[in-house]
Chain A
Amino acid sequence: MENKAIYERLTEIFHDVFDDDSIVVTPELKAADIDEWDSLTHIRLVVSIERSYKLKFSAAEVGRLKNVGEFVDLIQMKAAA
């Protein structure tokens, strides 16, 4: 799965979840960078990504992610499994 395609899809998901089309999704993007990124929107984000990619993550996998780049790595690893 290509990184570019993942970031494009994640951008659509972020825009929908945060209702903000100005968000630029980069590998360094993290929760502290977006005011609206609270615990409930985080859950919405993870669920949206799980549904979009038809993947399931564990709480531990999601809990140790530090930024979007690590999330992309997790998506690639799960999709390849």
Chain B
Amino acid sequence: MNTRQMLDRLDAAPLGLSTLWEGQSATVDFTVTDADMRNFAELSGDRNPLHVDDAFARSKGFQGAVVYGALLVAKVSQLIGMKLPGRDSVWVTLSMEFRKPLFVDQPAQVEGTIVGLSPSTGMIELKLTLRAADKLLAKGRAEILIVEP
């Protein structure tokens, strides 16, 4: 494990089941840049022009290149892995409904709120919302299993 990996791991919140409650929430603020889009196109192999070509996206009625839905899911991953519930967890279910597009350089926020907690199994259910300028862009649910030592 290198120093960066060690620091990243230390940054992940260690929230155990006993410190979680229904209604608890956390957020991640982010802005997707051109560089993020290029990196994601490379990583995923998805070079759909809707995501990488502003002119093409505008021809389809959008104001510019549409941020990859999976890149938004990556921010959900950050929320779950680093903040709520953080380190001692494994993600087992995700459903997302994308309602409006997010565009490059547009500030956004993903929020997770615990809406279900099963003490018998260690499973928590998160309600997810993704907003930009107070508009709901996407919503969803995730189930996360708390894995305590």
Contacts and interface: CB of A to CB of B under 8 A. Distances in A.
Contact of A40 (B92, B119, B120): B92
Nearest to B143: A47
Interface residues of A, number: 12
Chain A contact residues: helix, strand, loop or mixed = helix
Nearest to A45: B121
B116 A62 contact: no
Interface string A52-63: 000011110110
A46 B143 CA distance: 14
A54 B145 CA distance: 19
Contact of A50 (B92, B120, B122): B120
Interface in A21-70: 40, 43, 46-47, 50-51, 56-59, 61-62
A58 B119 contact: yes
B116 A46 contact: no
B105 to A, nearest CB: 40
A51 B119 CA distance: 13
A47 B119 contact: no
A62 B120 contact: yes
B118 A56 contact: yes
A59 B120 contact: yes
Interface string B103-124: 0000000000000101111110
Interface in B92-138: 92, 116, 118-123
B116 A43 contact: no
A47 B116 CA distance: 10
A56 B92 contact: no
Contacts of B116: 51
A18 to B, nearest CB: 16
Interface of A: 40, 43, 46-47, 50-51, 56-59, 61-62
| Chain A to chain B: the 3 pairs with minimum beta-carbon distance, closest first | A57-B120, A43-B121, A62-B120
Given A40-B145, A43-B121, 10 more contacts: A43-B122, A46-B120, A47-B123, A51-B116, A56-B120, A57-B118, A57-B119, A58-B119, A59-B120, A62-B120
